[in-house]
Every structure is written in structure tokens, then in C-alpha cells.
Structure 1
């Protein structure tokens, strides 16, 4: 499933019409039909439906929807917000079809008081006011209509995108309808995955309106959604004659005297996610404690400086070539200088850099730019760490999560896993996947360490690196979703996620 901007969706529509030969009328009718089919699964003849129509193609969809609901005998009122003469093109054609079928609509401009009364009497509002073509701020009278709708406690279902929202990145001020549900057409729009706009969408259903797959291949938007079906079909398998040495030799460099939990969480998650052999490289002072808490891993005991692994130990005392993959950073500490570049540059296995590893990396990015590693490097920043890496403010990043991830990944030739609501995975060539699993319970210390462990293990099991990364991110979020079946959102700890891994992985495999 692709993720598109409004401009890309316009290109897709044009290609479908000009190159495939499906008319705009066909696409509009198909969109309305798909919307009504889905809506019929959750409404009854007792409902009183109001359809709100704007002047563009979103309004044209609204006329199709209103006609189909009227034909099925629903209690319906239809309101057109702009002057009738402002409705042009295909939307005008469907307005005329609506009228020729014997149905009438009311004008918002002429009956504002009755409009408010109509809203108060309905049970469902269908929002077909403004679509993906909106540019700039919402103007009158749409802004006052949106404000009025948001005052009512009614079920609101938006067509394609909640009216007032941009379909793109970079929008700071959001003035839009708060929908309970959004029936998005063919492909979700970028703003659905960006806050604060995402809070307006409600539950999102993506409806197939018949645009051929070839069109997306030709237009080639580089963003996709990580779907459960994709993860189920691409989980790594294990042959019956597998032995531990072939199931991935993982090294986790983590921990300090003040952060002893991080290596335990990352190592525990890595073991539960399938790595055959896992080794912790930790400071000497905390090794006795950790060896009691994790019994299935081996250890490398490292000399330390101020309670942290020393740079000398990182450079000289770790036999990197014995391992297929390395994760570095969780709980590593920031008291002493460490260089991720010198530590990892000559290593030819896959690497995951997280947490304090990103702090040290942020001070040496010029080296990573001038000499990218030949083997894959995966970084897993949250928004604060991404701000540290890019020099952008968190506010700037929140508005441009897709762009900032892509810019960094392509510039430094790394895989970027930008964590947060709707984690975005970006490859060094700029392809992107957005994840829809997970919830606010993950906003707790240690959950990122668990992801690091899952990532490393999956990268050692899968033939495809991007499938490994996407699957790890999806499963990590799914763990949190499953936990809410028995736990409050405040009560989920990182160790709970690890304990759930066997059950969740089994449910996906079988």
C-alpha cells in the first residue's frame, strides 16, 4: 500500500485517465460507490445522514454518495457550502445527475441557521467539503463550517481526507475537521502519519476505487505502509538442520554503571527474536550483575573509564570479525568521548547504532559522510536524537518526518528508523516505509533497547535487509498493541514486550 501526497495523487489520477483510459467520471463514481459500500456496513435506516459538499472533486464524490444513499432510502439532507455556480467540471456533472434523479440540496450561504439545526438533528455527518487539492489556509466560509461541525458530538466520516488538512508535509497550523473515521481513496495521504494532522483522521479505512497497480509503478511514489500481510509473508524461516552458529552471531555493546538495564533488554530481545548466539560486551564493573540476569548469552568484559566502556577497549579488545552483526549504544554513556566511526568503520557486518551511540555519532558525521561503511548501517533515533543528528528543531522535524529521514539516509548512506508514532523506515536510496502498529505505552525507557535487540536478530535471519528492518519495527509495535489487551497504557514495561515476543511471533508465523 502506497503513501502519497496530494500532488502525487493528482499525477496518479491523470495517468489513469490519460494513459489507462479510465475517465474522471468513472473514477468519481467508483469512489462514491466504494465509500457507500463501506458505510453501509455500519449504519441503519434509523440514522439521519447529512452530506456536506464543497466545490472541488471531493464535492463531486459527495454528490455521488448523496445520490446513492438517497436511492437506498436513507434519511438524508444534502448541503452545498459554496455558491452553486462555483461547482465546475466533473463535480458539476454529478451535481446535475443528482438533480435529474429528483433530489435537491440546500445552500449553506442562504440558510445558515437551518444548517446548524440540521447538524444538531443528524446522527452521521459525511464530510466531502475539501480534498487533497487544498493550498494554504482554509478560507471562508469553509473555516466557519469546520468550526461548527467540530462543536457537535456527531459521528463524522470524511471522504479521502478530513476537510481543512493538507495532504502534504510541512504544515504547522492545522484547521480541520476532527473525523471519527476517514475513508481514504486508493492510498493514504502523507499527513495521515504526521501529528498534529494525524489526530484529525480518526480510524482510517483505505478503499480501492479501481486504479490499476501499473499506475503506481509508473508514477512510483517511494513511500509505502508496512502491512501485517507483508510481515506475515516475509518472516524469516528456519530449516530443520539449522545450528546455532548459522542462526546469527550477534554482539551487543551496551551498558554502563548507571545504566545496567539497557544491555539486559537489548540482549533479551535479541535472543527471543531468533539470534543463535548473542554476546554482550559490557564494562567490567557491571558484568557480574548482568551475568546473573541473562544466562543465555556470553560476555566480553571490557576495561572502563568513569564507569563506561573506554574507547581503547572499543578499538582494541573486541573481536568484531567473530560476529555477523553488532548493535551499539544502549546505555553506553556520555561521560567519556567515544568514536563510533573508528570503532565500526573497518567492520564488515551489519550494524545498529542507537541511544548513546547516536550521541557520539552526532559529533563525527563528517567522517560518516566522507567514508560511508561498505556494510549496512542502521540508526534508530527518536525525535530528540534526530534533532541532535540533523541540527533541526523537534518542531521542524515533526512537520517533515518523511523529508528529514530521507535527506539524512541518502546523505549519509544509512538506514534510518525514525521512531515515534508511525515510525518511518528509510533506505539509503530514499525508499520509505511507515509503520502503523504501536501505541503510547512505548513512550517509556527501555522500549527502544528492545527494538534494537529485535532489529539485530531479524537482520541476521532475513535474506532481505529492508524486510528485516520493517518486520522488526512492525513486530515491536505489535507487542505494545497486544499488551493493551491486558495492561493499562501506563503500565507496560519494556520487559513485558520481551515476554510477549514468543506469543506474537508465533501468531504471525502460524
Structure 2
């Protein structure tokens, strides 16, 4: 499903109205009716005890008027409060305001700072419909609007937000002074960026998409190349395997990882590649550590090299042997536990620039390029980098706080600087390709915040590259599967405390669930 900024959603609305000829009044009717149906399907019992609908200016308030009409028609007790003067409503919102006035709905205009009637109503009713502000809000909330939001949050009632939790930026997910904490956010046609990234995701509650009959053709042709990585997307992307395939069909992945004290990172990367379905996996490692890998990795092979540093990491002197070994391989994972020795860094610089295979660059290999993204730009083959915010901060030489302020913007800048697909890890991982495609992931949970999780992801993405997925798709599918496996573990074992190795072991189950959904149309 496509993922939009506020301005992009406004443009899609414009195309729908002007090019397809669907009146805005019809879109508003579809939106309000859809939200009313959602409320009654989820909260009918609570709605029977009373609904308060709080409307602000513009079309968001108009949507609220439509919701009120449909609930009123079905006999549900309600009160409608407008925080905007009657004469200020225009267009479609004005039409729907006039309708509910003519129908005799209980309607109150609160246009001063005295919100005591609203406060009393909130205390006596069970459902609140938040229709104050939508996606167009760009300034800080103040006055009676801020006070109304504060009262809604204090009420501890079920809150259904119309399109956006009021006060939340649709683009950055940041509260503009204050924002509604919704139980459910019913958004129109497509999810908004600010609903999927943090802190916005904490305000949205459950996100429900309301079909307002925006034509699929308009969305496909006019919408951005930005996607929400959900189950539907994953089912469309993952490729089933023919029964007559063999290990050679699914690529030989080379994993360059491991040094003294960091052998676990290499092992976990290999497990990620194996569990992701690579046909063959070989770990290229320092010879002095080979006995550890030989006794731990049963299914993966090793290629031990004697040219290593004093900290038992590979040296640039091993470069020619590595290049010879790469013949016939399909993808490379580089960096987990690789070591921080200067000779290892020099090896990374040469490998990143000269290996003509798709490559995932992570961890110590990213440290080797800190402040020097040109090493990645020199490559002639696809590169996927998988930094956490601290690593991206060092790579771009910008403060970590700036990275976290707008993660999509930061990933976009990194993709431009490195000419690589960027996987900016963290809650709601974002993926950006240098060709302009973008994605935000919806899977994963706090249990992934443990050592080794990123090493598994590196191997998994390399596995998908080796199986023939192009770089952006491999990165997106790898991130989704990694989080999906963690979500399965969270349900079965608990919200955290499971290990990176268990995540790797659960990847085949995550793949199985997607393929079952794909085959039987349960996506």
C-alpha cells in the first residue's frame, strides 16, 4: 500500500475530484459513512451509551458531521460540538453542517475558552469522535483547540480520530504542541507517513484505512513511490519456489564477518542467510578463528584466510584471495563483527568499491566508511547499507538527534550520498533507494532490541539478493520478514527476551505464513 505525505494526499484528492469527476461531497460522505460503520462494528455497545463528536474547521469537521448523521440515523445517542463558528464553514463541510442542523441533531458551538459543556459531555459518554484537525495541520495547536485535545486525553474514553489524531503532524509524526491519543485512527484512502513512524505511531492507536472510493488508477499513477510494508505488500512481493529447483537456483552467498571477540556476529549473519533460503553460504574468516566456525556452523562452509591482523580480523593483504573466491557467488554480506583494525578498514574500502556483486554493508564495515561515503559511491554493483541511527550519524557526519528528527529525510540524504539502498534500522525501520523509492516497515517489536538482531538481518537481506531479488525489494522484504519473525516470537514466547538466534530460526515460519496467505488469498 502506498504511503503519503499530507501534500501528496491533497494532490490525490484534487486528481480524484478534477480528473475523475468524483465530487468532494461524495468523498466526504464515503469517509463519514465508513467511520460510522467502523465505530458500530467495533464499539456498538459503548456507542449505545453515548457518542461525543468534536469538530474543528474545514473538511475534517465536515467528516465529523457526516459521522454524526449516520450514527443519529441509526438511533445512537450523541452530541456534536463545533469549535468553529458556524459562518466559517465553507464548501462540503458547510453543506453537511446544514444537513445535521436541518435534521435536528444536538449541535453546540463552543467558540470561547469556556469548554465546560464539552467537559461534562465527555464525562457522561463512552465514545469520542475526534474530528478537530486532519492532515493539513502545520502550525502549533493553541487556545480552545488545545484545551479540547487536553480534555479528550484526560477523559480516558474510547477515541476514534478522523484521518489523523488532532494535533499530530501527518508528515513527521510529531505533536504540534499537543495531540490526541487515539484508540483508533480511521484514515482516508492511504496511510500517512506520520502515522507509521515514531512518535506518531504512539498517538495513532490502531490504524484503520477507510475506503472513500478513490480510484486505484489515480493512486497507482499519481501516488508517490513510497510504500507501507504490510502483509499485503509482502504477499505480493515474495516469490514461491518451483518444486524442481535446487541449491544452485538460490545463490551462493559469501559472508565476510567475524574477529576476535565477535565470532557470534559472523555466526548469526550466516544463520540469517541460511534461514532466509540461500542455496549455499560460505563464511570468509580469519584462519585463527576457523575452528570456532567449523564446530558451530553445520550447514555453512568456511573459507579461512591466514592474512589477518593482530586482533584476528582480516587484513587488506587478503584482498586478492577474496576477489578470486568471489567468482560464481551471487551476493555478499560484509561487516558484522569484522573488526576495527586499520588494515581491516582498508580491506573494507577496497571490497566495497571493487566487488562486482550485490552487497550488504553493515556494522564494522559501516564504521570503516564513517565520514567517507565516497567509498560506497565508487561501487559499480548494488549496495545495501543497514545502519542504526548512530552509524548513520557517523557515516554522514551529522548529529544523531538530527537523524532521529526526520528519519526518512536522513535516509534519503544517505541514499543520495552513498548511491546505496539505505535501511535505517529502529522502530518503524525506513528503507530508501537512490532511485527515489521509499518504504516504512510495519513489523517488529521491542524484543528486537538485543545484540545480534542486526547481524541476522544482514544475512537475510544478502540471502534475498543471492536469490535474485533486486536491491530495494531484497532490503524491504528482509526487513519485513525479520520483524514478522520477531512478532511471531513475541506472541509465542513473550514481548522480549527471545534471542537473535531464535529470530533467525523463526524466519522460515514467517515465510510459510506469507506463502499460505498468498496461495489462499488471505492477505
TM-score by shorter chain over 0.5? yes
Q: Does 1:31 align with 2:37?
A: no
Q: How big is the shift at 1:469?
A: 2.3
SS of the equivalent of 1:327 reads strand
Where does the alignment leave 5 or more consecutive residues of structure 2 unmatched?
A: 517-523
- On the 8 A contact 2:431/2:439 being kept in 1, the answer is yes
Q: Which residue of 2 aligns with 1:60?
A: 62
C-alpha distance in structure 2 between counterparts of 1:200 and 1:437, whole Å: 17
Equivalent in the alignment of 1:305? 309
Q: Which residue in the other structure is 1:393 paired with?
A: 399
Distance (Å, rounded) in 1 between the aligned partners of 2:190 and 2:349: 40
Question: Which residue of 1 is the match for residue 520 of structure 2?
Answer: none
Is 1:316 the counterpart of 2:316 in the alignment? no
Shift of 1:413: 1.6
Does structure 2 conserve the Cα–Cα contact (< 8 Å) formed by 1:405 and 1:416? yes
| Mapping of residues 455-466 of structure 1, within 5 Å | 455-466=461-472
Partner-residue secondary structure (3-state), 2:302: strand
Q: What whole-Å deviation, never above 9, does each CA across 1:100-132 have from its counterpart, x for those lacking one? A: 122131122466222111111111110000011
Q: Tell me how far apart the structure 1 counterparts of residues 349 and 458 of structure 2 sit (CA, whole Å).
A: 19
Structure 1 residues without counterparts, runs of 5 or longer: none
Equivalent pair of 1:351/1:377 in contact (CA under 8 Å)? yes
Contact 2:253-2:330 within 8 A present in 1 as well: yes
Among 275, 280, 284, which residue is 1:277 paired with?
A: 280
* 1:331-356 CA-partner distances (Å, limit 9, x unpaired): 11213341333123222211000111
Change (3 A) 1:504 1:178: same
Q: Does 1:12 align with 2:12?
A: yes
Aligned mates of 1:135, 1:142 — CA distance in 2: 14
- Residue number in structure 1 paired with 2:503: 497
**Aligned equivalent of 1:415:** 421
> Are 1:179 and 2:179 counterparts?
no
Distance 2:173 2:405 in 1: 5
Look up the match of 2:192.
189
In structure 2, what is the Cα distance between the partners aligned to 1:132 and 1:436? 20
1:207 matched to which residue of 2? 210
Secondary structure of 1:305's match? coil
For the 8 Å contact 1:326–1:351, the answer to whether it is kept is yes
Give distance in 2, aligned partners of 1:62 and 1:44: 17
* 1:172 to 1:23, Cα distance in 2 relative to 1, 3 A: closer
Q: Normalised by the size of structure 1, how large is the TM-score? A: 0.95
Matches within 5 A, 1:224-239: 224-239=227-242
Give, in angstroms, the shift of residue 135 of structure 1.
1.9
1:341 aligns with 2:360: no
Tell me how far apart the structure 2 counterparts of residues 367 and 360 of structure 1 sit (CA, whole Å). 9
Length-normalised TM-score, structure 2:
0.93
* TM alignment of 1:339-418, pairs within 5 A: 339=346, 340-369=348-377, 371=378, 373-418=379-424
The separation in 2 between residues aligned to 1:239 and 1:214, in whole angstroms, is: 32
* CA RMSD across the alignment: 1.8
- Report SS of the residue matched to 2:369: helix
Which stretch has the larger CA shift, 257-266 or 404-413? 404-413
Counterpart contact for 1:248–1:324, Cα < 8 Å:
yes
Partner of 1:478: 484
Give aligned pairs, total: 508
Deviation at 1:173, TM superposition (A): 5.5
Of stretches 56-65 and 470-479 in structure 1, the one that deviates more from structure 2 is: 470-479
Q: Which residue of 2 aligns with 1:140?
A: 143
